[in-house]
Structure 1
Amino acid sequence: MTGPRLFCFGLGYSALALADRLLPQGWRVAGTTRAQEKAQALAARGIETFLFDRGRPLADPSRALAGTTHVLSAVPPDRDGDPVLDRHGGDLAGPGLAWAGYLSTTGVYGDHDGGWVDEATPRVPTGARGRARLAAEDGWLELWRRHGVPVHLFRLPGIYGPGRSAIDALRAGTARRIDKPGQVFSRIHVEDIARVLEASMARPNPGADYNVCDDEAGPGHEVVAHAARLLGVEPPPLVPFEAADLSPMAASFYADSKRVRNDRIKRELGVRLAYPTYRDGLAAQLSAERGAHGKREKP
């Protein structure tokens, strides 16, 4: 078969948003999952799947990657490093790729006490997970420097969208409003991640790194309060950070506070965000849900 083929290591929330944009354009999409049940569901969407994790590398990399023109890795590092690089970095080093993307995190910048960061900001992560991401970024860039693999880095903050928003958390009863004075987060709608990746594919610039975030950083508790107003419900009470009894994983997200600039995706890739703020994204989600309900209720 001819035409572009995207292979995604890690067919998760972000990668599938990209797949949904590319499939109607005639792209072939394939990738990995860790569960056979998910593989069956993805096959019904026209996505070819292969089982993969660190302990179970691709059984036949040549077959899985045959015809691939674009590669995206959304697999996070584990305690031993980057599983994709460790198991299949050599398989990506041959000719034929037009573009490769690695989904990293803005956590590589560390804490800036609410100040602004951009792609020129030194990467000084504060925790073990951030340091693992930094090492993974360097490993992917080494594929570009040593083997000419056209690698691009995309640093993501908090990701939200249908099924993973403050609206969904309120409905599920899991939303919390944690108050840590001065704490701000950047975020990005999943559809805008896909927009940025598609724009980069159209304008490849190997070795480039991009912050993929919206235009407005802010405290997480304000997002939850706004979602509650949209739903017409009372927001959860504001809980001081010190009294929140967060898990070590959840508490680690509050170790860093920064505002992330997104100028490069606009200037170099020509991206126009569909959801420049969380208010736009949450309003669009509710509008789409209400429209879908209306269609189902028509005779």
Structure 2
Amino acid sequence: MSAAPHLVVLGHGYSAGYLTPLLVAQGWTVTGTTRNDPARVTATGAQPLRWPGEGDALRAEIARADAILVSAGPDAGECPALRDFGAAIAASPARWLGYLSTTGVYGDRQGDWVDEDSPLTPSTQRGRDRVAAETAWQALAAAHGLPLHIFRLAGIYGPGRGPFAKVRAGTARRIIKPGQVFSRIHVQDIAQVLAASIVRPAPGAVYNVCDDDPAPPEDVLEHAATLLGLPPPPAEDFATAEMTPMARSFYAESKRVANDRIKRELGVRLIHPDYRSGLAAMLAAENR
């Protein structure tokens, strides 16, 4: 009897918490790293390892992995997984290596469309760090023949990461910036895209992971309020609204992200093709 296939996740966070149950149901075992919350990792069906802390044990897991997912973001301008485990990953027998990046690598397109072949022109430091990380992983993959797949995620939402709490509390703000649109992706769809890619490895592939309906952020908040039977949050002009530099930076980029490739090459049919579907499902789950 052959051993169960094994996934190692470096940075077992929100998205990996939805991928793990999918794979466990298919007979996989999963090891996921955490800084300080092993119980959260265990609750998803994965075996936790602390990183930093249990590096040798983690290298042993990488050495027997069938698939490796790098979900940890850049730290001080470099990818910590590449820094700490690049050599181990280069020697791993894994047949699939995934890196979670962001659509922020495309920068601001003033509402125009981008696809995976669009130039990378990040306009924020976060975006520049992600481009540097993608480039570093591609260099390692080229040097060692690694089966690298890059996933550029749009704005992630899902259970526990939606607008309902702020709308209910009266703290949500509809910041109006004419022409501003964002692409989004429900966490369940991230999980199904990753699972589909693991089944259909295509080394060197890059995928945009987003839904079908880029939309202004104020529309999402207004729809959330409608679902709750509450009035829309107050509208504020972006130019004069009081915002933290971090919050304001999210409005520095406006683009529509195309997702044809995940459908064409991975056969993905989105569970939540737009925010209306995603928010309705989240509210229904809360009510249950």
TM-score by length of 1: 0.92
Judged with a 3 Å threshold, the aligned counterparts in structure 2 of structure 1 residues 173 and 96 are, in CA distance, closer, same or farther, namely farther
Q: Which residue of 2 aligns with 1:124?
A: 121
Within 5 Å, give how 1:98-247 maps onto structure 2.
Answer: 98-247=95-244
* Equivalent residue in structure 2 for 1:274, among 271, 277, 281: 271
Q: Say which is worse superposed, 95-104 or 214-223, in terms of deviation.
A: 95-104
Superposed CA deviations along residues 125-160 of structure 1, whole A, max 9, x for unmatched, are: 011111100000011111221111111000011100
Judged with a 3 Å threshold, the aligned counterparts in structure 2 of structure 1 residues 15 and 174 are, in CA distance, closer, same or farther, namely farther
Provide the C-alpha distance between the structure 1 equivalents of 2:221 and 2:160, rounded to a whole number of angstroms: 15
Provide the C-alpha distance between the structure 1 equivalents of 2:201 and 2:100, rounded to a whole number of angstroms: 15
Residue 60 of structure 1, CA deviation? 3.4
Q: Which residue of 2 aligns with 1:296?
A: none
Q: Helix, strand or coil: the match of 1:88? A: helix
Q: Which residue of 2 aligns with 1:51?
A: 50
Provide the C-alpha distance between the structure 2 equivalents of 1:66 and 1:205, rounded to a whole number of angstroms: 21
- Count the aligned residue pairs: 287
Does residue 1:64 correspond to 2:61, yes or no? yes
Tell me the percent identity: 53
Residue 42 of structure 1, CA deviation? 2.6
Q: Which residue of 1 aligns with 2:15?
A: 14
Q: Which residue of 1 aligns with 2:262?
A: 265
Provide the C-alpha distance between the structure 2 equivalents of 1:222 and 1:125, rounded to a whole number of angstroms: 25
Within 5 Å, give how 1:11-50 maps onto structure 2.
Answer: 11-35=12-36, 38-50=37-49
Residue 84 of structure 1, CA deviation? 0.5
Q: Say which is worse superposed, 1-10 or 278-287, in terms of deviation.
A: 1-10
Provide the C-alpha distance between the structure 2 equivalents of 1:46 and 1:260, rounded to a whole number of angstroms: 32
Q: Helix, strand or coil: the match of 2:101? A: strand
Give the aligned residue type for 1:186.
Answer: S
The answer (yes or no) to whether the contact 1:58–1:64 under 8 Å persists in 2 is: no
Provide the C-alpha distance between the structure 1 equivalents of 2:41 and 2:126, rounded to a whole number of angstroms: 29
Provide the C-alpha distance between the structure 1 equivalents of 2:186 and 2:3, rounded to a whole number of angstroms: 32
Q: Say which is worse superposed, 243-252 or 13-22, in terms of deviation.
A: 243-252
RMSD of the alignment, in Å?
1.5
Residue 171 of structure 1, CA deviation? 3.1
Give the aligned residue type for 1:101.
Answer: G
Q: Helix, strand or coil: the match of 1:204? A: coil
Judged with a 3 Å threshold, the aligned counterparts in structure 2 of structure 1 residues 87 and 174 are, in CA distance, closer, same or farther, namely farther
Q: Which residue of 1 aligns with 2:280?
A: 283
Judged with a 3 Å threshold, the aligned counterparts in structure 2 of structure 1 residues 101 and 172 are, in CA distance, closer, same or farther, namely farther
Residue 243 of structure 1, CA deviation? 2.2
Give the aligned residue type for 1:242.
Answer: A
Residue 206 of structure 1, CA deviation? 0.7
Superposed CA deviations along residues 238-271 of structure 1, whole A, max 9, x for unmatched, are: 1111222211111111111000000000011110
Provide the C-alpha distance between the structure 1 equivalents of 2:112 and 2:205, rounded to a whole number of angstroms: 23
Q: Helix, strand or coil: the match of 1:101? A: strand
Residue 57 of structure 1, CA deviation? 6.8
Provide the C-alpha distance between the structure 2 equivalents of 1:163 and 1:193, rounded to a whole number of angstroms: 16
